[in-house]
Amino acid sequence: MHAVVLLKRVLDPEIPQSAFAVDPERREPLVPRAPYVLSVFDGNALEVALRLRDALGGACELTALSFGPQAAEEVLRKALALQCDRAVLVSGEEQGLGARRKADILAAAIRRLPPADLVLLGRQAADWEAGQLGGMLAESLGVPCLPFVSEVRRDGDAFQAVQQLEGGTAVYRLPGPAVLTVTNAGGNVLRPARIRDVMAARGCEIAVLALGELAKGDGGTAEVETTALRLPPPRGKAEMIDGATAGERARSLVRRLGELGAI
């Protein structure tokens, strides 16, 4: 079988707000020294795919696919270090492209690969967190989409997928092919790569597809404009109220509220 995992390179979401700024002219983040990382939910999707391959005894071919600038090769090499069989980069800027256009471009790239039984990606990206790509990609490919998946198993000639719900889980049997968006269940933390595999991945070939080849001749023309981008207002301060008993804490709270002029 063949599974394709979509991986996105994003600005590290753990950057402290004090180190984050916005370019008012370009309307984009201004953090030149900040690191870029693999979007965490895509890391969960990669782990689910790796566990499926482990369970199948290696009888599963994995392709890592990313859309972005040449620097996105960094996340693809991370996947190669974890023993993905191939890596493919759709080379181009995604800024200004809506989810519909990105889905069509990625679907075109997937069609150039060996037929995929499963396509896995994170439930949402760690930058804009829109969570739209999975469903639109499934529509572009003409296959079903199952969101919020935490585990996938082979079930005869089909797949069994566990879906996370607010009150529990649901289990689906999918004949495939299908698109699965993966959530961050406790067991989906991406495994670390071995040092020797990281070193070996540096020399692995990454196939590159030009955006113009996949964008139906329009070169990926921008269709979305960011009209404003600003930092959220700073959060209010929190204070801890001391006291050995509930009565003491209540008196301390009333006294502090009085000092602040709230009562």
Question: Is 209 in the same domain as 245?
Answer: no
Look up residue 202 and give its two tokens: 């540096």
Question: Is 7 in the same domain as 85?
Answer: yes
* Domain presence at residue 38: yes
pLDDT of res. 139 = 96
Question: Is 186 in the same domain as 259?
Answer: no
Asked if 207 and 86 touch (Cβ cutoff 8 Å), the reply is yes
126 — phi, psi (to 5°)? -85, 0
Alpha-carbon Rg for the chain in angstroms: 22
Question: Is 19 in the same domain as 91?
Answer: yes
Question: Is 65 in the same domain as 150?
Answer: yes
Question: Is 151 in the same domain as 185?
Answer: yes
Question: Is 143 in the same domain as 258?
Answer: no
pLDDT of res. 216 = 67
Asked if 87 and 204 touch (Cβ cutoff 8 Å), the reply is yes
Look up residue 200 and give its two tokens: 């070996």
Look up residue 2 and give its two tokens: 């063949």
Closest CA to 4 of 195, 176, 161, 174: 176
> Could you give the CA distance from residue 140 to residue 147 in angstroms, rounded to a whole number?
16
- The crossing angle, in degrees rounded to 10, of helices 99-111 and 133-141 is 50
Alpha carbons within 13 A on the beta-carbon side of 91? 10
> Could you give the CA distance from residue 215 to residue 98 in angstroms, rounded to a whole number?
13
* Domain presence at residue 37: yes
Domain that holds residue 253: 237-263
* Domain presence at residue 226: no
* Domain presence at residue 223: no
* Domain presence at residue 76: yes
Alpha carbons within 13 A on the beta-carbon side of 108? 19
pLDDT of res. 32 = 78
> Could you give the CA distance from residue 171 to residue 178 in angstroms, rounded to a whole number?
15
Q: What is the pLDDT along the chain (263 residues), one digit of tens a residue?
A: 999 999 999 988 888 877 888 887 878 888 877 889 999 999 999 999 999 999 998 789 999 999 999 999 999 999 999 999 999 999 988 777 888 899 999 999 999 999 999 999 999 988 878 889 999 999 999 999 999 999 999 999 899 999 999 889 999 999 989 999 999 987 899 999 999 999 999 999 999 999 888 876 554 556 677 888 887 777 777 888 888 899 999 999 999 999 988 88
Name the β-bridge partners of 90.
Answer: 67, 209
Domain with residue 189: its CATH number is: 3.40.50.620
> Could you give the CA distance from residue 96 to residue 116 in angstroms, rounded to a whole number?
28
SS3 assignment, position 103: helix
Question: Is 10 in the same domain as 99?
Answer: yes
> Could you give the CA distance from residue 102 to residue 122 in angstroms, rounded to a whole number?
15
pLDDT of res. 222 = 60
What's the pTM? 0.83
Question: Is 195 in the same domain as 248?
Answer: no
SS3 assignment, position 162: strand
DSSP 69: S
When divided into structural domains, the chain yields a total of: 2
> Could you give the CA distance from residue 81 to residue 100 in angstroms, rounded to a whole number?
31
Question: Is 161 in the same domain as 262?
Answer: no
* Domain presence at residue 222: no
pLDDT of res. 221 = 55
117 — phi, psi (to 5°)? -80, -35
Question: Is 255 in the same domain as 176?
Answer: no
pLDDT of res. 73 = 96
